[in-house]
């Protein structure tokens, strides 16, 4: 391309991108400047139009400390450039003492770099970070995604404007030069007499991305398709179009089939199963990202197993990454972190006698009892006091005249129970199954016993044998509470 034209083409494109994404970009933009031709071209192009859009640019440079003297020269170069343009600059660096050399890879370096860039954005109140990713970078990213295994999101590649995951979800990523090649960006600098730095590691195949750039793409161009980059770009555009449609369809059903409360994600099993497989996958991807605050990419390999057990017998679970658990019950599926599983009752490890009247203190439970002459029908209410961080269950039982001790324990093999309104007793297991009580909490549900008989399955039902009626002389009021903090 004629070098005279590239200046106009890049500046025009950057201006159009600024106009298109102006509201999302904000007035303050962090410029991620490595010193290479791409980020340097980006800086100068943005600098040339900053006054037109009333933008404040702040340069940020992260020294990875991987190239010794070269890294130091990069720091000197970006400082000099910032001074020349009279722009503020923040320098960060990787503390190599915190990492063993064998643990350093592309992902770790990227993680530290993005953490630094976002910290700068937070410090100066920027809503966006401008990165110098180019057309070639995008092709490499798509190929890398294909090699690792990807869905449509991975095939669609990078976007000029994109969101970040928590905790950086309030800061946008802006890539104004994504449609220009590395050569075009270099020509922009050369035509404008703009100096830039060369990174020698770009010519080393130590990292996977470099292997793709230096080995795989030339091999594909030589042996299969000289225009492989254009073909991959076309694939990216088709994938982007498809994923946009799937996202629209997914958003129609996301709120109808899922809910997040108390750090737990809930999926309505029957409604979910009625959806197309592609929509099911996308719902799980979005839900995982939302509940965990992490990139759904690290849970990618769990999506198909999750869908598989949704269509299997209830009571199954899947251990996800970072302590997250996926559990499938009769009507509801849940994603929760084990230590924040607030639906599960604290376990009672043995049979305890309950003081009547009085207060019985267990490790995670408090049981209070009193006798009353009230003639009301049986009392059963479940209350949650969020301010105190407690869930309380209250009941009134007619067991005051039976001269039996009151106990609390969890279920054991052979338990039988006569639910309120039933003429005969039944296996406790069958009772829990009929009520579709989640299997994962059945072993921890407290049982209140009068003598050897189950009088109350806490939180669910009292026994027909201990209901209050007009002949009840004394009612035993029981309140059991647990701390959920």
pLDDT in tens, 145-183: 999 888 888 999 999 999 987 788 889 999 999 999 999
Q: Are 61 and 74 in contact (CB under 8 A)?
A: yes
Q: How many C-beta neighbours within 10 Å does residue 257 have? A: 23
Q: Is the dihedral of CA 8, 9, 10, 11 positive or negative?
A: positive
Whether residue 394 sits in one domain with residue 420: yes
Of 182, 208, 224, the residue that ends a domain is 224
The model's confidence at residue 483, banded by pLDDT at 50, 70 and 90, is low
Give the whole-angstrom CA distance, residue 137 versus residue 143: 10
Residue 18, SS3? helix
In a domain, 238, yes or no: no
Structure-model confidence comparison of residues 472 and 421, the more confident one? 421
335 and 361: one domain?
no
Whether 335 and 285 share a structural domain: yes
Do residues 272 and 317 both lie within one domain? yes
- When pLDDT is averaged across residues 420-424 and rounded to a whole number, the result is 91
Structural domains of the chain, count: 3
Residue 386 exposed, middle or buried by CB count within 10 Å (0-12, 13-18, 19+): exposed
Determine contact, residues 154/146, Cβ cutoff 8 Å. Answer: yes
Asked whether residue 269 falls in the same domain as residue 291, the answer is yes
Question: Within this chain, do residues 331 and 356 fall inside the same structural domain, yes or no?
Answer: no
**172/278 same-domain check:** no
Question: Which of 340, 367, 388 corresponds to the end of one domain?
Answer: 340
Instruction: Between 71 and 449, name the one with better pLDDT.
Output: 449
Residue 239: inside a domain? no
Within a domain: 347:
no
CATH of the domain at 319: 3.30.465.60
User: Does 234 fall in a domain?
Assistant: no
Beta-carbon-side half-sphere exposure of residue 268 (alpha carbons within 13 Å): 11
Q: Could you tell me the pTM of the whole model?
A: 0.72
Q: What is the pLDDT of residue 39?
A: 97
More confident site: 400 or 410: 410
Whether 332 and 404 share a structural domain? no
- Same domain membership, residue 199 and residue 117: yes
- Residue 229 belongs to some domain of the structure: no
Q: Does residue 237 fall inside a structural domain?
A: no
Residues 175 and 322 in one domain: no
Instruction: Tell me what the pLDDT averaged over the chain comes to.
Output: 88
Give me the mean pLDDT over the 283-305 stretch.
Answer: 84
Say whether both 78 and 204 belong to one domain.
Answer: yes
Judge if 186 and 41 occupy the same domain.
Answer: yes
- Which pairing describes strands 172-174 and 161-162: parallel, antiparallel, or unpaired? antiparallel
What integer pLDDT is reported at residue 389 of this predicted model? 56
- Sorted by sequence, the CB contacts under 8 Å of residue 244 that are 6+ apart come out as none
Structural domain for 103, as ranges: 3-224
The reply to whether 345 falls in a domain is: no
**Residue 234 neighbours by CB distance under 10 Å:** 11
CATH number of 88's domain:
3.40.50.620
């Amino acid at each position: 391309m004629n070098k005279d034209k590239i200046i106009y083409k890049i500046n025009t494109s950057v201006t159009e991108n600024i106009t298109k994404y102006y509201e999302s970009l904000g007035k303050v933009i962090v410029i991620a400047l490595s010193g290479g031709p791409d980020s340097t071209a980006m800086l100068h192009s943005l600098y040339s139009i900053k006054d037109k859009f009333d933008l404040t640019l702040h340069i940020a440079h992260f020294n990875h400390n991987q190239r010794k003297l070269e890294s130091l020269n990069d720091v000197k170069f970006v400082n000099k450039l910032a001074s020349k343009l009279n722009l503020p600059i923040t320098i960060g660096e990787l503390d190599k003492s915190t990492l063993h050399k064998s643990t350093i890879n592309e992902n770790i370096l990227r993680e530290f770099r993005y953490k630094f860039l976002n910290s700068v954005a937070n410090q100066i109140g920027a809503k966006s970070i401008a990165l110098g990713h180019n057309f070639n970078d995008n092709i490499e990213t798509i190929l890398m995604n294909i090699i690792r295994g990807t869905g449509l999101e991975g095939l669609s590649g990078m976007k000029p404007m994109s969101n970040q995951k928590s905790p950086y979800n309030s800061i946008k990523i802006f890539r104004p030069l994504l449609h220009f090649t590395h050569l075009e960006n270099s020509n922009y600098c050369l035509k404008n007499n703009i100096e830039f730095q060369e990174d020698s590691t770009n010519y080393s195949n130590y990292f996977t991305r470099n292997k793709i750039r230096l080995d795989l793409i030339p091999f594909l161009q030589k042996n299969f398709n000289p225009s492989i980059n254009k073909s991959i770009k076309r694939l990216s555009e088709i994938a982007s179009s498809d994923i946009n449609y799937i996202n629209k369809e997914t958003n129609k059903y996301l709120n109808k089939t899922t809910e997040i409360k108390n750090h737990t994600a809930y999926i309505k099993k029957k409604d979910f199963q009625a959806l197309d497989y592609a929509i099911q996958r996308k719902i799980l991807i979005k839900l995982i990202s939302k509940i965990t605050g992490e990139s759904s990419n690290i849970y990618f390999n769990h999506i198909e197993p999750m869908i598989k057990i949704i269509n299997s017998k209830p009571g199954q679970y899947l251990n996800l990454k970072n302590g997250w658990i996926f559990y499938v019950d009769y009507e509801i599926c849940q994603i929760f972190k084990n230590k924040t599983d607030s639906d599960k009752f604290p376990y009672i490890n043995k049979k305890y006698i309950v003081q009547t009247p009085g207060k019985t203190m267990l490790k995670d439970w408090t049981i209070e009892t009193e006798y009353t002459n009230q003639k009301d029908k049986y009392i059963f209410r479940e209350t949650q006091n969020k301010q105190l961080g407690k869930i309380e269950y209250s009941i009134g039982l007619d067991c005051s005249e039976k001269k039996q001790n009151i106990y609390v324990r969890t279920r054991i093999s052979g338990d039988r129970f006569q639910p309120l309104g039933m003429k005969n007793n039944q296996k406790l297991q069958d009772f829990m199954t009929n009520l579709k009580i989640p299997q994962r909490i059945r072993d921890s549900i407290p049982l209140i016993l009068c003598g050897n008989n189950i009088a109350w399955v806490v939180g669910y039902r009292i026994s027909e044998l201990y209901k209050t009626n007009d002949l009840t002389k004394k009612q035993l009021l029981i309140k059991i509470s647990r701390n959920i903090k």
